[in-house]
Amino acid sequence: MHMYFVALVLPKELNEKILTFKQFMHEKYGCAVGLKSPAHITIVPPFWMDEEKQKQLENDIDALSTQQQSFVIEVSDFSAFKPRTIFVAVAPNQNLKELKTKSDIFFHNHPSYKIQIEGRPFHPHITIATRDLHKKDFHEARAYFEPKKFSGTWTADGLSLLKHNKKNWDVVHTSQFQKL
C-alpha cells in the first residue's frame, strides 16, 4: 500500500517563489512538512491504495480531466488555519469549486479506490507550513506573513497524481484539461 493524493500542481516559477517561504519556515521554525511536496492545491486529500491500482487511477484521472477546461487561478497574500497552518491564499474561483465537486462525485462513484469524500467545506490554499509548526510558534509566524504581499496567476491545465516515496511526494502522473 502507498499513499497518494490528487492536486493541481503549480508551475515551476510559482513553485520556486513559494519554496522560499517554505525554506524560511524550515530555517526559522524547523518546519519540514511543507518542503516534502511541490506547491499545490489539493483536490483529493491523501489516501492509501494498492500500487497495482495506480495505472487504472491514472486512466480515470485522465477521463475526469477530459471533461474539464483549463482555467486561471489567482493567489493573493497569506492566511492561516489556527493553530498550525500558514498558507498562500487562493482567490475564490468557481471553476476550481466545480472541479472539486466533479472530483468528489467521480471518486464517490468509484468506490474501489476507497477514497473518503471530505465532509468539511473546500477551502483551496497552498500550504507553506502545517503539522510540524508548533502551536507556540504559530502566532509569531502568522504575524510575520500577515502584512506581506504576494500575488500570482497561472493556468490550471491538468490534474496531478502524487505518490509518497516514504520521504517526499513525487508527481507520478499529470493529466491534461481541454485548452482554453
In-domain check, residue 109: yes
Q: What's the total number of domains in the chain?
A: 1
Note whether residue 179 is domain-resident.
no
Query: Is residue 180 in some structural domain?
Result: no
Residue 160 lies in a domain: yes
Domain membership of residue 155 as a residue range:
2-174
Q: Is residue 170 part of a domain?
A: yes
Do residues 134 and 99 make contact, with C-beta atoms less than 8 angstroms apart? no
Q: Does the residue 143 lie in any domain?
A: yes
Number of Cβ atoms within 10 Å of the Cβ of 82: 9
Q: Which residues pair with 167 in a beta bridge?
A: none
- Residue 17 located in a structural domain: yes
Mean pLDDT of the chain: 94
Q: What percent of the chain has pLDDT over 70?
A: 99
Instruction: Specify the pLDDT at position 116.
Output: 82
The pLDDT of residue 175 is above 70 = yes
Instruction: State the pLDDT at residue 114.
Output: 83
- Taking the C-alpha atoms of residue 171 and residue 164, their distance in angstroms, rounded to an integer, is 9
Convert the pLDDT of each residue in 65-124 to its tens digit. 999 999 999 999 999 999 999 999 999 999 999 999 999 999 888 888 888 888 888 999
CATH, residue 97: 3.90.1140.10
45 part of a folded domain: yes
